[in-house]
Structure 1
Amino acid sequence: MSSSMPVRRRLRPGLTALVLGPLLVGLGSCGVLGAAPAPSTSSAAAPTGASPAAPSSSPAGGPSASASASAGGPAGPASTPSGTPSSGATPAGDAAGRCAALVRRLTPEERVGQLLMVAVTSTGMTAEQAAAVGRTQAGSVILLGNSTAGLKAVQGVVADVRAAAVRPQRVNVLLAADQEGGLVQRLAGEGFSDIPSAQQQARLSDEELASKAETWGDQLDRAGINADLAPVADVVPRELAAVNEPIAGLRRGYGSSPSVVAAKVDAFTSGLGEAGIATAVKHFPGIGKVRGNTDTATRVVDTTTTRRDPGLAGFRAAVDAGVDMVMVSSVVYTKIDRARQAAFSATVVDGMIRGDLGFDGVVISDDLAAAAVQDFTPGRRVVGFVRAGGDLAIVGDPTEATTMAQALVERAAADPAFATRVDESAARVLALKDRRGLADC
């Protein structure tokens, strides 16, 4: 398929970056690019029972799955009690089934590439970044860093990314950005509206927010961006508003009422969907009750959120509204899985997102190069995420992308069950692309 494949823009609601170096400070939970903080000296402990990271020279990305499981590390899934699916579950299963046949025609490297979203700078992709995108055959790319150069400049970056990408037949590359609003609006300048923060968006009626979101989505569509890593469904209790760094501190939340948050998440998701833009609700199962930021803190723990928490309402609303992706956080939730961060927990990914929410679309990670996951090698991180049931890994530091791709290929070659997991995830990603006009299953 050529890069000129027409993009299917309008869908019915409910149908569901190489050297960023010291400037990179995550994306999903923080969303602000700045100077990297000094290493933490007070909270560097890994999740309960986790072993130290394997040497970075390990080509397979760390110890065996059995070793990781016994140690509580990222590659060892926990048990996954089943739940009751949401009545509005995204009907992606059939599409993923159709796309499975396309997956079987891909090489192992191409299949793994569909599981990676590699970062490039939004103001212009470097030669090293282009090489990382091509070498890993990355199926998705995220534009990181703030650009005020306007829509035409972003179109140029998008064209460069598409030229650098290695695209299997009938599959195009997906371009994403963090375009929440307020302090987290990556793309600005002529052709882009000044998007208000979620805190300000919450003052709009649901109808007005949906209409404005459609306009913001149209602008992304004209720029060549296919996915917005938004909305934020995290609920910050009033008593934590002064200390919650990742959401309240950046005015990224819709409020302290789960029902209000759910209504605004629904409106934002529906509006972007009307513009043909894929969405990713975040950061499951919520980072509104924590203090630290996983982009900069080496260990962030939530001791309050439960599996049936009222604060999950926004995520259910997003699924009902046809959200394409659910982003899982890198926080440890002691009342859900005290041994593993959510991104590495099958209880969270398979049990809660797949089971409790009934979501059959793409589960995307928060940045797998962020501070909170640095206790593990890049290979262990990505293998652990996929083994837990994750589909699409955000690689905020492209220098780690090749290692991650290699770890996935080697683990799949050595472990038939893991190879099946890779194929399942690739099919889900292709189903998303099929819905958004970026693949033909």
Structure 2
Amino acid sequence: MGPAYGHGDARQHDFLRLVAAWNTGAMRRRHLLALTPAAALAACTDSGQDPAADGTSDSGGSSDHGGSDGGSSDGGAEPTADPTTEPEPTAAELLLDELSPREIAGQLVLVGIPAGTEIPAEVWTDHHAAGIFLLQVWKDPAAVESVVSSAHDGVAPLIAVDQEGGQVRMLRGDAARRTPSAETLGADSTDSGRAVTDAYTSIGEDLAALGIHVDLAPVADVVDPELGDANEPVGGLGRGFGTEPEHVGECVRAAVEALTAQGVAATLKHFPGLGRVEQNTDFSAEGIEDTVTGPDDPFLDSFTAGIDAGAQLVMMSSAIYPELEPGVPAMFSSVVITDLLRDQLGYDGLVVTDDIGAAEAVASVPVADRATRLLEAGGDLVLTADASLTGQLVDAVEDWAGQSTAQEERVRESALRVLSLKQDLGLLDG
């Protein structure tokens, strides 16, 4: 039962309730004035509860010390329900609300910069790109540091590089230590997991020292043992950890964990796998069809291992998988990205393309469609090795977002994933 009141006590109680209500409103007004406009709006449109009068403990219980009937121990207050509040917006969410449509569209494009060149000024000033990735071979750490630290406009950029080991190392010479290929690491019969950890710890240390945030590695593709070196994009270049899914998954997990420990984001590639195609999608639009891989294929297990290990990016293949969606490159397939990767495997991180700027596999697709088809399929970020296409790609995303509310929200969803990764990597601090 609740407390009983006489007539005098009731009048006093009513007066105290009015005072408390006024004070609560004043606290709330001061709280809203201290917030950014976006956060204040969120606070004004919550479910009617007052964040300023929360009084909850970490476990969600009220800090009130009343009895089980909800009354206060002094008998002078009425029962109150535990308040529920919306979570505070993240730095990425607050930033997204401050960006213009053009700036949001730019966050969905990553631009390749060849060794020995500088970043075109318009990449930042006009197109507001999400960041850059280093192309070709960089041997001078001073040159890398110069590009990494060069002026940008607006949101801090992501800096990425292909640093797998073996033949695929964009950083060489004094810029980074030599590390073995995935094929060599995976073939270590004594302890391949330790070998992978050591190699990718070195890679992570080198990238972090240069201010590089993302490694476009490891390769999670399982090479078809019947193809071996005839699998040009992976087996022929020694880029795969092996031909057995469980073993490859163990190596992928070790690589992801080693990079993460150094503060570098790992990228699983090339989903749903390039281990069964013959030709390299960078150089050919023929021989890039995998007629075996389906939704329950064991060759997907290595990607699942990498996702479970905390990989923050997944790079899509530009090959075609008839058992999933006939005639459609994986990077443009909603069956592959949304149904398989996101829904079936439970991945909600950043989905990026393989190169869509210079790759032969997508040369027949109009430039604008290379960006919008990824978004329609559920992907997020396009990578172009041809920096001259940056403006066309950003234009396409901005125009597509302006065509409907649903498409605008789709673009904002992807931009938030990019900004959230930047937040996780400490790029939005301050």
Q: TM-score, normalised to structure 2's length?
A: 0.76
Structure 2 residue aligned with 1:334, among 311, 315, 322?
A: 322
1:116 aligns with 2:109: yes
Query: 2:67 matched to which residue of 1?
Result: none
Structure 2 residue aligned with 1:372, among 343, 347, 361?
A: 361
Structure 1 residue aligned with 2:142, among 152, 171, 184?
A: 152
Matches within 5 A, 1:230-309: 230-299=217-286, 300-309=288-297
Q: For each residue in 1:250-301, what CA deviation from the matched residue of structure 2 results, as whole angstroms up to 9, or x when unmatched?
A: 1100010101100000001100100000111000000000001110112421
Query: 1:386 matched to which residue of 2?
Result: 375
Query: 1:227 matched to which residue of 2?
Result: 214
Q: 1:211 to 1:195 in 2, by over 3 A?
A: closer
User: Bigger CA drift: 298-307 or 330-339?
Assistant: 298-307
Native 8 Å contact 2:249 2:303 kept in 1: yes
For structure 1, the residue ranges without an aligned partner over 5 or more in a row are 1-93
Structure 2 residue aligned with 1:189, among 173, 176, 181?
A: 173
Q: 1:201 to 1:385 in 2, by over 3 A?
A: same
Native 8 Å contact 2:180 2:199 kept in 1: no
Native 8 Å contact 2:267 2:315 kept in 1: yes
Query: 1:200 matched to which residue of 2?
Result: 184
Query: 2:122 matched to which residue of 1?
Result: 131
Query: 1:60 matched to which residue of 2?
Result: none
Q: For each residue in 1:114-165, what CA deviation from the matched residue of structure 2 results, as whole angstroms up to 9, or x when unmatched?
A: 1110111133326xx343343211012101111222x2331122122xx1x3
Displacement of 1:191 after TM fit? 4.6
Query: 1:106 matched to which residue of 2?
Result: 99
1:357 aligns with 2:362: no
Q: 1:96 to 1:347 in 2, by over 3 A?
A: farther
Query: 2:395 matched to which residue of 1?
Result: 406
Give the % identical residues. Answer: 37
Displacement of 1:333 after TM fit? 0.3
How large is the Cα RMSD of the aligned pairs? Answer: 1.8
Native 8 Å contact 1:325 1:361 kept in 2: yes
Q: 1:179 to 1:415 in 2, by over 3 A?
A: same
For structure 2, the residue ranges without an aligned partner over 5 or more in a row are 1-86
Structure 2 residue aligned with 1:143, among 117, 126, 134?
A: 134
Q: 1:357 to 1:136 in 2, by over 3 A?
A: same
More helix by share: 2
Q: TM-score, normalised to structure 1's length?
A: 0.74
Secondary structure of the residue aligned to 1:136 is: coil
Q: Distance in 2 between the 1:277 and 1:345 partners?
A: 28
Displacement of 1:397 after TM fit? 0.7
Greater than 2 Å deviation, 4+ residue runs: 94-102, 129-135
Native 8 Å contact 1:123 1:157 kept in 2: no
Look up the equivalent residue of 1:228 and give its one-letter code.
Answer: D
Native 8 Å contact 2:268 2:306 kept in 1: yes
Q: Distance in 2 between the 1:383 and 1:191 partners?
A: 36
Look up the equivalent residue of 1:147 and give its one-letter code.
Answer: W
Displacement of 1:200 after TM fit? 1.1
Q: Distance in 2 between the 1:191 and 1:121 partners?
A: 15
Displacement of 1:98 after TM fit? 6.4
Look up the equivalent residue of 1:416 and give its one-letter code.
Answer: T
Secondary structure of the residue aligned to 2:116 is: coil
Native 8 Å contact 1:155 1:224 kept in 2: yes
Q: 1:97 to 1:344 in 2, by over 3 A?
A: farther
Q: Distance in 2 between the 1:360 and 1:379 partners?
A: 25
Query: 2:418 matched to which residue of 1?
Result: 429
Structure 2 residue aligned with 1:180, among 161, 164, 179?
A: 164
Displacement of 1:339 after TM fit? 3.4
Displacement of 1:95 after TM fit? 11
Look up the equivalent residue of 1:183 and give its one-letter code.
Answer: Q
Native 8 Å contact 1:138 1:166 kept in 2: no
1:395 aligns with 2:384: yes
Q: For each residue in 1:184-204, what CA deviation from the matched residue of structure 2 results, as whole angstroms up to 9, or x when unmatched?
A: 000111251101111112125
Look up the equivalent residue of 1:415 and give its one-letter code.
Answer: S
Q: For each residue in 1:204-244, what CA deviation from the matched residue of structure 2 results, as whole angstroms up to 9, or x when unmatched?
A: 53134213312221111111111000000001121111311
Q: 1:345 to 1:290 in 2, by over 3 A?
A: same
Query: 2:309 matched to which residue of 1?
Result: 321
Secondary structure of the residue aligned to 1:305 is: coil
Decide which structure has the larger Cα Rg and report it. 2
Secondary structure of the residue aligned to 2:379 is: coil
Q: Distance in 2 between the 1:409 and 1:109 partners?
A: 6
Look up the equivalent residue of 2:174 and give its one-letter code.
Answer: E
User: How many residues get paired?
Assistant: 339
Q: For each residue in 1:346-393, what CA deviation from the matched residue of structure 2 results, as whole angstroms up to 9, or x when unmatched?
A: 111111111111111100111112111111111011010111111111
Q: 1:133 to 1:240 in 2, by over 3 A?
A: farther
Look up the equivalent residue of 2:415 and give its one-letter code.
Answer: A
Native 8 Å contact 1:233 1:283 kept in 2: yes
Query: 1:24 matched to which residue of 2?
Result: none
Displacement of 1:96 after TM fit? 9.5
Q: Distance in 2 between the 1:177 and 1:188 partners?
A: 12
